[in-house]
A and B are shown apart, each in its own frame.
Chain A
Amino acid sequence: MATLLATIEHAVKKPVWDCRMCGQCVLHSTGFTCPMTCPKSLRNGPCGGVREDGACEVDPTMTCVWVKAYGRARRLPPPLRDGVDELRAPVDVRLQGTSSWANLATGRDRRRPEGWEAAERAAASGAAPPAAVGPAEDAQDAEGVPN
């Protein structure tokens, strides 16, 4: 069943988005541009190597995936437009090849490493990120990050 779903998902998403089956789809927050097609598989925006004409550092024959993603996302209505600015967590490589639809239904695609989760919760609660030295922080607060 799981394999069948993955096969169907790939059949639908490969021709449209060049889907790489990472199993943790973020198309809705990238202007429907697959970040896994970036040669560096960057999920949080372009690297600093984008060429003057907007072409990719690695493959000059293609437009930077993130130049396309931002351009498309900004033309979408608010929830789809602003998601592009979210900090996306590192890829869970165990989900490679599995169906992101199934992982969305079970919530598996939203599971993060505990350290990352704690930092997310701290950021969401308005507390300073648990970064150490800096004007927007207090070392004592950082230690109070809930488990």
Chain B
Amino acid sequence: MTLAELLTAPEPYRPAVTAEFPALDGGGLEAAAAHASRLAPYVDAVNATDNPAAHAHASNVAVAVALYRLGLEPVLQVACRDKNRLAVQADIVGAALHGVTNVCCMTGDDTTAGDEPEAQRVFDLDGPQAVRTAAVLAGGRYLSGRPLSPAPPLFIGAVENPGAPPFEERAKRALKKVRAGARFLQLQICYRPERISAFCERAEAEGVTPAAALLPTVALVKGARALRYMDAKVPGISVPQEVVERVENASDEREASYQVSLELARNALAQPGVRGLHITDFRHDDTLGRLCSDLGLPTMRTAQGEDAMAV
């Protein structure tokens, strides 16, 4: 079952799981395959990131195509920081040429968040405009109106951050993206369950759901240091002091941080309009499998047309 089928079925069949694919730099396709085989049993789709945190890596399109060929279903992340509208359209159409039809559009971190803060920031489009641009492509045109035939059958998504101000406006902003054409929303990592709940309730009231499927993000981290880092260094993420202390003061930090993630995941899945989870795995171990198992989610995926994952 494709991600689009899972997230748009009138009655949810089961929660979907998407995950951030680790950024790749070298090591050839073997490096991609190693990560793919670790994630494959647990995920319905994986995000091919677009220079995450404003650091250059192997490109979103190159990684998405590799994932597709490895039998995983990729989600092409499209950030607006590094490319103008011509390049954004070329990436989406180019990836679709290879069979990559899931697109997740976002504004993107600023260049100053990365290791090349001297770079020109682009932001020729913003997140909602990128969503609309993808929708225009899916409708069989480029932005200019020039025909694009056949139209790429895109499944378009976006992101939203329920954990950042202005809290009471985030659902309205999400609605703008839905009106622009988004059918799923991956939500930013949020360590404050009450903010997720409030956002999902507003999203339902505004009509964001069920038009779009919500996928809150849960991070899998090693311990308190990672939580502290996120709180201090990642704009838009705030980790409550009591959560940091709970993990820090535990006899087993890894176990304690897992329990925090598990509780957040359970809370997220119980919210209205939530049709799955997005996972950011900073542990790169067997925790993702444990999480899926503890949540009662499948721990074995089969690739289309094959009996089991080929990787």
Contact = CB atoms under 8 A, between A and B. Distances in A.
Interface stretch (B15-23, B55-63, B145-153, B284-292): B145-153
Interface string B152-164: 1111100111001
18 contacts: A44-B128, A45-B126, A48-B159, A48-B235, A49-B235, A70-B166, A70-B169, A85-B176, A90-B126, A90-B129, A119-B135, A129-B132, A131-B139, A134-B155, A135-B183, A139-B151, A142-B139, A143-B140
Contacts of A66: 166
Contacts of B26: none
Interface in A58-114: 58, 64, 66-67, 70-71, 85, 87-91, 93, 113-114
A142 B151 contact: yes
A142 B4 contact: no
A43 B129 CA distance: 9
Contacts of A87: 128-129, 132, 176, 179-180
Contacts, number: 199
Contact of B135 (A42, A52, A67, A129): A129
Q: How would you classify the secondary structure of chain B's contact residues: helix, strand, loop or mixed?
A: loop
Of A47, A119, A129, most B-chain CB atoms within 10 Å: A47
Contacts of A122: 139
A142 B140 contact: yes
Contacts of A116: 132, 136, 143
A14 interface: no
Contacts of B10: 135
B155 A40 contact: no
Of B10, B136, B145, most A-chain CB atoms within 10 Å: B136
Interface string B32-57: 00000000000000000000000000
Given A45-B169, A70-B166, A116-B136, A134 B126 contact: no
Nearest to B9: A135
Interface residues of A, number: 52
A51 interface: yes
B77 interface: no
B85 interface: yes
A132 B107 CA distance: 21
A114 B145 contact: yes
Interface string B117-150: 0000101111111001111101111111110000
A122 B141 CA distance: 13
B141 A115 contact: yes
Contacts of B124: 90-91, 93
A130 B164 contact: no
Nearest to B106: A48
B226 interface: no
A90 B136 CA distance: 13
Contacts of B141: 114-115, 118, 145
